[in-house]
Amino acid sequence: GAGVSQSPRYKVTKRGQDVALRCDPISGHVSLYWYRQALGQGPEFLTYFNYEAQQDKSGLPNDRFSAERPEGSISTLTIQRTEQRDSAMYRCASSLDSANEKLFFGSGTQLSVL
C-alpha cells in the first residue's frame, strides 16, 4: 500500500477483554516495528520483526502482550486481559531494510480500556 495502515483507528474495550491491533506495512518493507506512545511523550519501543522473525521483544511490558507477523507482511499486536494502564496510542512503523533505515509510521490505534 501507499503507507503504513493500522486498524482499528480507535478501540474501546472493557478491562479484562483481549484486543488485537493490526498493522499493514508498506509493501516490500522488511522490518516492522510496534511502538506505544503516551500523551506528551515520545514513542516507546515494544517489539520489531525482520520478515516473519521477531528479532527483539524486550520492550513488551509483560506477558499479556504478544505480537506476530506470520507471513512477513501484516502484523498483529495482541493484548490479553487488558488493564486501564494499557490505554495508549499504539503505533506501527515499517522500514525498507533491516540496516538502520528510517521508519515510516502509521496513524496508530488509540486504545482505551475502561
Alpha helices in 40-98 (DSSP H): none
Pick from 21, 33, 82, 94 the residue near other proteins by CB under 8 A: 33
* 11 forms part of the interface with other proteins (CB under 8 A): no
Whether the Cβ atoms of residue 93 and residue 33 lie closer than 8 Å to each other: yes
Cβ closest to other proteins, residue 68 vs residue 80: 68
Cβ closest to other proteins, residue 79 vs residue 103: 103
Spell out the residues 6+ positions from residue 24 whose beta carbon is closer than 8 angstroms to its own: 1, 4, 5, 6, 7, 73, 74
Pick from 59, 68, 74, 80 the residue near other proteins by CB under 8 A: 59
* 100 forms part of the interface with other proteins (CB under 8 A): yes
Pick from 13, 20, 22, 45 the residue near other proteins by CB under 8 A: 45
Tell me the torsion sign for CA atoms 111, 71, 64, 20.
positive
